[in-house]
Chains A and B, each alone.
Chain A
Amino acid sequence: MSEFALEIKNVSKLYKLGVISTGTLSHDLNRWWHRVRGLDDPYERIAEANIQDSKGESGYIWALKDVSFNVPHGTALGIIGKNGAGKSTLLKILSRVTSLTKGEIRINGRIASLLEVGTGFHPELTGRENIFLNGAILGMKKNEIHSKLDEIIAFSGVEKYVDTPVKRYSSGMRVRLAFAVAAHLEPEILVVDEVLAVGDVEFQKKAIGKMQDVSRNQGRTVLFVSHNMAAVKNLCEKGVIMKNGFASEIFSSDTAIQKYLEEQESLGLHNNFSLKDSDFANYTAFITEGKIFGKNDNSIICGDEMNIHIKYKNNDPTAYADLHVGLYDAFGTKISHLAASFTTGSVIKLRAEGNIMCSIPRLPLIPGRYSINLSLHYRGKPYHRVLDAFFFIVEEGDFFNSGRMPGHNQGKFLIDADWQFL
């Protein structure tokens, strides 16, 4: 028996970029012809590393390239990296949702991922029927579910409704039921993708709690994907960094986080960006330029004004949109979320070309490094997203107009307050 729960050897995954179908048939035929003659896939040779800022020429990229590492039994391993570094692709390969192009993975034990909670729930079936269906989809045997049925129902807290069709459940009840099933899977290896769990806070909390329990108290192997450094630090003892489809060796989680942050810092700050129109031929609306600056174009100072200035273009004269701004600290933890509609109560009618200016009069952020994601979208459907649009520093300032500030590790932002002493 191997000492490792997971042995990942030279795993690579090739993706084709752009619109699938044009030229697919000819590429398929060419591939097939190469294979018949015993040659390598011709598109593997021209494929490029997965670097997102520069536009590739070949149309093929390596989403994962020669990823190798071994995970010993009972380890909680955090996989960190930027969006699109290949983290989720790796997890998808592990849970066999998608295939790999090269390499090999040996999994010693049952593997289950919490990214699949509630899949296969059928709205017309009752809670009880769905427990069986969902459990079976996740790989449980019928009698296994039978023996755990009471436990699952009790854990879910929906005893009263267990014979009611799931379509009458509230979304919270549905999540609880789904989670109860997943929690009783008891795999040797648990995979949690925080990135995919976003959107359901309750589920996210439960998943992370479950993960803690599994790794600390039951000694099982856990893989945790996140770009929230704080969560990784908290939950994992080991860490691996993914970048452009490559994976680092396994470090202790503290070292991994430190290395990741150092690298982020070495990327430098950028307070503005501009994008080429030609990259957005198929977009309805897109952001062309962005700029973030303090008062009078100066640097950004705590307690002073901060401005975000966006230029956009739009091809649909009837389009409406909302600009969302996600604010992250250096650890990748989301601190706040701004949107034009939150403040104004309505969405923006887009012009053919226009500007959106957002001004925060008294910036309540503790000095330090931050990043911002931008998203131009309408009713949850994004037109265009710019991830890590800005990396910027908030400098020391005088938020309270008193010359005093809390220390650097005291919280993430500042709140103005009225004080009375009676």
Chain B
Amino acid sequence: MQKENLPVRVISPQRGFFSFPLKEVLEYKDLLFLFVRRDFVAFYKQTILGPLWFFIQPVLTTIIFTIIFGRVAQISTDGLPDVLFYLAGVTAWNYFSGCWNETSDIFRKNKDIFGKVYFPRVIMPLSIIITNLFRFGIQFLLFLGVFFYFYFSGHEIQPNWAVVFLPVLILMMAMFSLALGMLISALTVKYRDLVFLIQFGIQLFMYATPVVYPLSIVSPERQWILVLNPMTSIIETFRFAFLGSGTFHYVHLLYSFASILIIFVLGLLVFNRTEKSFMDIV
């Protein structure tokens, strides 16, 4: 046996205050993609409609929003067709909330695997982010379809140069949901109360974000309260880019990016700490 090139691994209690096991994650990238594949394939196995389910959920949500918020409550949609307005919000929001919801429970849900074998734990939330990205891609196609329908049937829609921000918006949503998910999953290990709060919390958070209403219905001097929420400018920019309505501010976007970055670093930190000790607690 060749002993010269064996990998040497040192296990010690101290790890850097902030260390992201990037090298390890790269070593395990195959696992990352296998997890993504697993989640994707397992999602529609033994269902009749199969991948169609990726469409059904946003369609139903949009219909419900159109009826309740558009018709019954008659909340402004900045002059856009109701369906398009809500679908834009729902598509973007779904990506964020899906990632957040699934990453929030990873330690508890995977304790059997985590309890028996080591791999960089961060692989798990990363795989969720990527799986959801595919889901988002599919739902985004649906959105584009509806978008072009309205566009060519002569509605007032002005897609513009801000479309180039789409990758940034997605990245920001991924980082934000990952950060929140990691924070909460780390905390649920010890304080299980949070599990009960999370569904409810996401729901509330949606109403604190201009998903079912435009930012413009809030009076200008109070808008800053909503803008404090990093998701606000993401959703608004998304709608502005494709539909030409909504508020777009570099400052808002920059603020969102900065605050997400801070929360992200915090989340990673807490996650790293929990990863080491959670088996003794769960």
Contacts and interface: CB of A to CB of B under 8 A. Distances in A.
A139 B7 CA distance: 13
A107 B113 contact: no
Contacts of B13: 99-103
The 8 A-B pairs at the shortest CB distance, nearest first, are namely A96-B118, A99-B276, A136-B31, A116-B116, A142-B30, A116-B117, A109-B6, A105-B11
A202 interface: no
Interface of A: 1-2, 15-16, 20-21, 24, 73, 92-111, 113, 115-116, 119-120, 122, 124-125, 129, 132-133, 136-142, 165, 188, 218-220
Given A119-B112, A142-B30, A107 B11 contact: yes
Nearest to A109: B6
Contacts of A15: 280
Given A106-B10, A129-B38, A24 B190 contact: yes
A93 B28 CA distance: 20
Contacts of B221: none
19 contacts: A1-B4, A73-B3, A96-B11, A96-B118, A98-B277, A99-B13, A102-B13, A104-B10, A104-B12, A106-B10, A107-B10, A120-B117, A124-B46, A125-B42, A136-B28, A136-B34, A137-B117, A138-B117, A141-B30
Contact of B280 (A96, A98, A133, A138): A98
A389 to B, nearest CB: 27
Contacts of A138: 117
Contact of B116 (A24, A104, A115): A115
A170 B145 CA distance: 46
B118 A105 contact: no
Given A1-B6, A104-B12, A113-B117, 18 more contacts: A1-B4, A15-B280, A95-B117, A98-B279, A99-B276, A100-B12, A101-B13, A105-B10, A107-B11, A115-B116, A124-B46, A125-B41, A132-B34, A133-B34, A136-B31, A137-B31, A139-B119, A219-B1
B4 A105 contact: no
Contacts of A132: 34
A122 B280 contact: no
B9 interface: yes
Nearest to B277: A99
Interface in B11-45: 11-13, 28, 30-31, 34-35, 37-38, 41-42, 45
B48 interface: no
Given A132-B34, A137-B117, A124 B4 contact: no
Contacts of B31: 136-137
B114 interface: yes
B91 to A, nearest CB: 27
A250 to B, nearest CB: 20
A104 B11 CA distance: 6
Interface string B226-256: 0000000000000000000000000000000
Interface of B: 1, 3-4, 6-13, 28, 30-31, 34-35, 37-38, 41-42, 45-46, 112-119, 190-192, 276-277, 279-281
A97 B115 contact: yes
Contacts, number: 113
B118 A95 contact: yes
Contacts of A20: 190, 281
A103 B10 CA distance: 11
A57 to B, nearest CB: 20
Contacts of A116: 116-117
A139 B113 CA distance: 13
Contacts of A102: 13
Contacts of B113: 119-120, 137
A103 B279 contact: no
A21 B191 contact: yes
A165 B45 contact: yes
Contact of A97 (B10, B41, B42, B279): B279
B117 A124 contact: no
A111 B11 CA distance: 12
A142 B38 CA distance: 15
B38 A220 contact: no
A375 B279 CA distance: 25
A128 to B, nearest CB: 12
Contacts of A99: 13, 276-277
Contacts of B9: 106-107, 111
A218 B1 CA distance: 9
A188 B1 contact: yes
A277 B3 CA distance: 57
A92 B279 contact: yes
Contacts of A137: 31, 113, 117, 119
A124 B279 contact: no
Contacts of B8: 2, 106-108
A137 B119 CA distance: 7
Nearest to B45: A124
Nearest to B39: A122
B273 to A, nearest CB: 10
B118 A110 contact: no
Contacts of B45: 124, 165
A345 B46 CA distance: 40
Contacts of B191: 21
Contacts of B6: 1, 108-110, 188
Contacts of A103: 12-13
Contacts of A165: 45
A207 to B, nearest CB: 14
